[in-house]
Amino acid sequence: MEDLRQAHHHFSKVLHYLENSPASSPKQVSRVCQNLMETSIGLSMRAREGAERKKRADQALDYGKAALDNVLRCRDVCMIAQVQFMLACMSAWRVYLEARVSGMEPRRHPGRERVEILMAERLGELRAFQNLDMEGYEAQARKYIGYLNKSPRNQGWE
C-alpha cells in the first residue's frame, strides 16, 4: 500500500509539472493521468474503510476523465480506446463499491449488466488494434467483471 501511495505522490508531482509546462503535450499529460487513475484504483481496492475506497475511486474517475480529455486532443485512436477501456473498468469497480456499501450483492446491482456490456464493447474496440497485446486487457476485463459477479458467500471486501 505504501508503494502505491508513493507512486501516487510522484505521479501527482509530475502532473503538476506537466500542467505548468508549455512544452508538455496532451499525450504526456494523458499518460500521467492514466498512471494516477491506476494507482488511485489500486489505493481504493486496498483501503480498509468504505469512505476511503469511495474517495480513491472518485479520484480515479477524475484522473480517467482528464486522461481522456487530453488524449482526445492529440487524436491517438489507440490511446483513446485504451483510456476508454480503463474508464469501463473504473465503472465496474464503482458498481461493485455501490453494491457493497448498500449491502447488495454486486451481481444484483441494477448497473451491472450495463457495465458488463460496456466492458465487452471497449474490449472489442481494443481488438481492432493489432499491435496491442490483448492478453493483459482480457485478464483485466475478467478481473473487473469478476467483481460484478461476487456471490453472497464471498462478500468480504477485496
Rounded CA-CA distance 139/137 in Å is 5
Across the range 52-61, mean pLDDT stands at 93
Percent residues over pLDDT 90 in the chain = 71
Percent residues over pLDDT 70 in the chain = 95
Across the range 123-151, mean pLDDT stands at 92
Domain co-membership, 116 together with 45:
no
Of 75, 90, 115, the residue at which a domain comes to its end is: 75
Instruction: Read off the pLDDT band of 151 (50, 70, 90).
Output: low
pLDDT above 60: residue 10: yes
pLDDT above 70: residue 153: no
Domain co-membership, 54 together with 98:
no
Range(s) of the domain holding residue 98 = 78-158
Domain co-membership, 61 together with 123:
no
- Whether the model pTM is above 0.85: yes
pLDDT in tens, 62-91: 999 999 999 999 999 999 999 999 999 999
Q: What is the pLDDT of residue 19?
A: 85
Mean confidence (pLDDT) of the chain:
90
Q: What is the domain count for the chain?
A: 2
pLDDT above 60: residue 128: yes
Taken in order 5, 90, 121, 105, the sign of the CA dihedral is: positive
pLDDT in tens, 101-115: 888 899 999 999 999
Give me the DSSP letters along 94-119: HHHHHHHHTT--GGG-TTHHHHHHHH
CB–CB of 73/26 below 8 Å? yes
